[in-house]
Amino acid sequence: MQISPSILSADFANLQAELDAIAGADWAHVDVMDNHFVPNLTLGLPVVESLLRVSPIPIDAHLMIEDPDRWAPPYAEAGVASVTFHIEAARDPVRLARDIRAAGARACFALKPGTPFAPYADLLGEVDMVLVMTVEPGFGGQAFMADQLPKVAQVREAVRRHGGEIWIQVDGGVSASTIEACAQAGADVFVAGSAVFGAESATAAVEELRGLVARHGAHARP
Ligand code: DX5
Ligand code: ZN
């Protein structure tokens, strides 16, 4: 059970301090948006390279960008430990996942709420994690989409049948009131933006979320 706070809701003028506040988390989730794949613009590789130099924990980059086949591998080469691309944007996901892994990172594909998992089940052998979006990608602070939980359960079942250590991440609207339903459905990596950085103490919020899912650990194991 791993917590990956999204710095999308952090103070962008003080990212080093914000990363230090979540040093007790497993990952720092960094949302890269290009204003084409999603209608919002955040940051790109130069900023991620700077974050890599100061982050006390590994970086989990969520690339909401067009042409990930071209732009995702450089994040892995720069030292990002987990690189997630959107399956809707990838031209050759097998080759892309292999490029990311060859550069030393974990490879992951993400599914928007309207994208089914079944057509991509064959990709499980190529990736280390599947991200099931529980909001429409683009913005923090949106309401959790409980109708995505059956998809989480479907991916969990496919991972169980496939075998191996493939993680299932949920991202969007994850908070103290929704995280347990995600764990019950089979997720084991939890992204939370506003629930962590909107809290009085980001450090305490990470611990609270961790405490809520700790007892679900056995369930998610393959
Ligand atoms: C949305 C991003 C999320 C976002 C989540 O497109 O991928 O990572 O930061 O924010 P919350 O947790 O506030 O929904
Ligand atoms: Zn994200």
Three-state SS across the chain? CEEEEEHHHCCCCCHHHHHHHCCCCCCEEEEEEECCCCCCECCCHHHHHHHHHHCCCCEEEEEECCCHHHHCHHHHHHCCCEEEEECCCCCCHHHHHHHHHHCCCEEEEEECCCCCCHHHHHHHHHCCEEEEECCCCCCCCCCCCHHHHHHHHHHHHHHHHHCCCCEEEEECCCCCCCHHHHHHHCCCEEEECHHHHCCCCHHHHHHHHHHHHHCCHHHHCC
> Whose atoms come closest to the Cα of 193: which ligand?
1
In the reported structure, the alpha carbon of residue 133 is separated from the centroid of ligand 1 by a whole-number distance in angstroms of: 9
User: How would you class 163 by CB atoms within 10 Å of its CB: exposed for 0-12, middle for 13-18, buried for 19 or more?
Assistant: exposed
What pLDDT, in 10s, does the model give residues 50-93?
999 999 999 999 999 999 999 999 999 999 999 999 999 999 99
What pLDDT, in 10s, does the model give residues 82-134?
999 999 999 999 999 999 999 999 999 999 999 999 999 999 999 999 999 99
In the reported structure, the alpha carbon of residue 3 is separated from the centroid of ligand 1 by a whole-number distance in angstroms of: 13
Mean pLDDT of 2-27: 98
Model pLDDT, residue 28: 98
Return the active site residues. 31, 171
Atom of ligand 1 nearest to the CA of 174: 12
Which band of pLDDT confidence, cut at 50, 70 and 90, is reported for residue 219?
A: low
220: pLDDT strictly greater than 50: no
> Whose atoms come closest to the Cα of 145: which ligand?
1
Model pLDDT, residue 215: 84
How distant is the alpha carbon of residue 34 from its chain centre?
17
In the reported structure, the alpha carbon of residue 107 is separated from the centroid of ligand 2 by a whole-number distance in angstroms of: 15
Percent of the chain whose predicted confidence (pLDDT) is above 70? 98
Identify which of 8, 42, 43 to mutate to test ligand 1's pocket (most ligand atoms within 8 A of the CB). 8
Which domains are assigned to the chain? 2-216 (3.20.20.70)
The mean pLDDT of the chain is 97
> Whose atoms come closest to the Cα of 113: which ligand?
1
Model pLDDT, residue 44: 98
Model pLDDT, residue 218: 57
Model pLDDT, residue 216: 86
Please tell me the residue having the least CA distance from ligand 1 atom 10: 140
Model pLDDT, residue 210: 98
Ligand 1: residues whose CB is within 6 Å? 6, 8-9, 29, 31, 62, 135, 137-138, 140-142, 171-174, 191-195
Atom of ligand 1 nearest to the CA of 198: 13
Model confidence, pTM: 0.97
Distance CA 222, CA 159 (A): 7
What pLDDT, in 10s, does the model give residues 150-207?
999 999 999 999 999 999 999 999 999 999 999 999 999 999 999 999 999 999 999 9
Distance CA 29, CA 209 (A): 15
In the reported structure, the alpha carbon of residue 146 is separated from the centroid of ligand 1 by a whole-number distance in angstroms of: 15
